[in-house]
Amino acid sequence: MSTIISKMDGVSSNSSKRAYVTFLAGNGDYVKGVVGLAKGLRKVKSAYPLVVAILDDVPEEHRQILRSQGCIVRLIDPVYPPNNTQTQFAMAYYVINYSKLRIWGFEEYEKMVYLDGDIQVFENIDHLFEWPNGYFYAVMDCFCEKVWNFSTQYKIGYCQQCPERVPWPAESGSPPPLYFNAGMFVSEPSLVTYHNLMEALETTPPTAFAEQDFLNMFFKDIYKPIPNVYNLVLAMLWRHPENVDFDNIKVAHYCAAKSKDRSLGDSQERKRT
């Protein structure tokens, strides 16, 4: 079995049992997003550290930047799905996201809130750590963007964000189970869970949305949907504005193709410093 953690720094014996966690790979600009995430958590006065799980291809310069922002940097081994040359991922780079599964091995933390590096936090969300254990909390995804064009949901116009708009056809059986966006979630690290994830991965063929599809399958029995304000995927602004509580947005996820030219509203309220 591969080593879960190759190196850890910035952790003391008195470190918190709770942590925000994110993932970083490569030598590109994504590190800037993680820095923005760290600054955002600091600005809202979060009481808990940000742990950055990194792959070995993250350059030392970027690691030093993260440490300078108060992040705990943890080097992890990559995780790859079973070999399947026929798999066409929705985005080619999604395959590396299977490495996120390593974070369930961070068992020195009793609970974690995972946040992708393209997320910004606008309000304190430390209360998420108080939610009852034993569940996987995350926000339901939207199926309306073109990245979903391979799916039955997209082809017929069905979205779980507004199931009454285009009902699921009766001839297709029961609607698909609720499906979350894995850019933000609340879970409990555990070596038992970690090993179960690794074992399940060995026998689960990869699918278009990589680790997100896999996590939806693995945690389907304990998944608890939470309000969109905890992971506002920007496509919601133009696909389902009626479902967006603009006055209470806590977390915004800049993962949509149009996110560069869309706004969250009051720029002064949402400005990152």
100 a catalytic residue: yes
3-state class percentages of the chain: helix first, strand second, coil last, to nearest 5: 35, 20, 45
Residue 131, Cβ neighbours under 10 Å: how many?
14
Q: Which of 57, 22, 58 is nearest to 40 (CA)?
A: 22
| Residue at token pair 């470190």 | 15
Retrieve residue 135's tokens.
């569940």
| Residue at token pair 């705990």 | 72
Pairing of strands 72-76, 5-8: antiparallel
| CA separation for the pair 113, 185 (Å, rounded) | 6
Catalytic-labelled residue, pool 7, 32, 43, 100: 100
Which residues on adjacent β-strands are paired with residue 23?
53
| CA separation for the pair 268, 266 (Å, rounded) | 5
Q: Decide: 4 and 103 in contact? Cβ < 8 Å.
A: no
| CA separation for the pair 251, 230 (Å, rounded) | 5
Which runs of consecutive H residues, i.e. helices, occur in 96-229?
Answer: 152-156, 191-202, 210-218
What residues act catalytically?
100
